[in-house]
């Protein structure tokens, strides 16, 4: 099977090497990159999404989009939810948009949303406001949100 993206001898435009000699993504695969702060996850994701110069990269012409999910993305969404909070001190507390609303926000028609919700075990939280979700529930919702965009 031909990879949709294949990287070898990866370096940034600043000359920093990445701790991966070879990397390939096959059609239908989804990858997660996990590491501590400052370990290069964001740099690697930026390289995959063409935000940085790629050395010796080969891209499949039909590759359309690579999505990232990060703690920073989660924080931005939380800040947006707080900014859009229109409750007053005497009103009920605004818990933010529901998990279902957020997952469906950029939904692509070809995506099986029920399968994503089931896989990410979010069925019990679909009508829960984002600001009430636990950290783990928020992270699962962020992954489901990315998958709903058919990366």
Question: pTM (2 decimals)?
Answer: 0.63
| Predicted pLDDT at 55 | 46
| Predicted pLDDT at 35 | 78
Output the CA angle 45-76-54, nearest 5 degrees.
15
Q: Are 131 and 78 in contact (CB under 8 A)?
A: yes
> Which distant-in-sequence residues (6+ apart) come within 8 Å of 126 by Cβ?
98, 99, 100, 117
b/e per residue 41-74 (b: at least 16 CB within 10 A): bbbbbebbeeebebbebeeeeeeeebbbbeeeeb
Domain extents in the chain? 1-63, 71-147
| Predicted pLDDT at 124 | 93
Strand order in the sheet with 57-59: 22-25, 5-8, 57-59
**pLDDT truncated to tens, each residue of the chain (151 aa)?**
777 777 777 666 666 666 667 788 887 787 777 777 777 777 777 777 663 444 445 545 555 566 777 788 888 888 888 787 766 655 667 777 888 999 988 888 878 889 999 999 999 999 998 888 898 899 999 999 988 887 6
| Predicted pLDDT at 56 | 45
Q: Are 148 and 108 in contact (CB under 8 A)?
A: yes
| Predicted pLDDT at 13 | 62
Distance, in Å, from the CA atom of 63 to the CA atom of 82, rounded to the nearest integer, reads 35
CB burial class (10 A; 0-12, 13-18, 19+) of residue 122?
Answer: buried
| Predicted pLDDT at 122 | 92
């Amino acid at each position: 099977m031909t990879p949709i993206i294949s990287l070898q001898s990866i370096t940034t435009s600043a000359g920093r090497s990445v701790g991966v000699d070879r990397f390939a993504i096959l059609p239908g695969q989804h990858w997660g990159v996990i590491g501590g702060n400052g370990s290069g996850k964001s740099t690697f994701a930026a390289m995959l999404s063409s935000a940085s110069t790629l050395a010796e990269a080969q891209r499949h012409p039909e590759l359309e989009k690579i999505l990232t999910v990060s703690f920073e993305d989660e924080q931005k969404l939380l800040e947006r939810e707080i900014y859009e909070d229109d409750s007053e001190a005497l009103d009920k507390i605004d818990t933010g948009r529901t998990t279902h609303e957020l997952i469906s926000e950029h939904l692509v028609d070809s995506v099986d949303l029920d399968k994503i919700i089931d896989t990410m075990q979010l069925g019990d939280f679909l009508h829960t406001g984002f600001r009430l979700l636990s950290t783990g529930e928020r992270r699962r919702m962020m992954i489901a949100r990315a998958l709903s965009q058919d990366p």
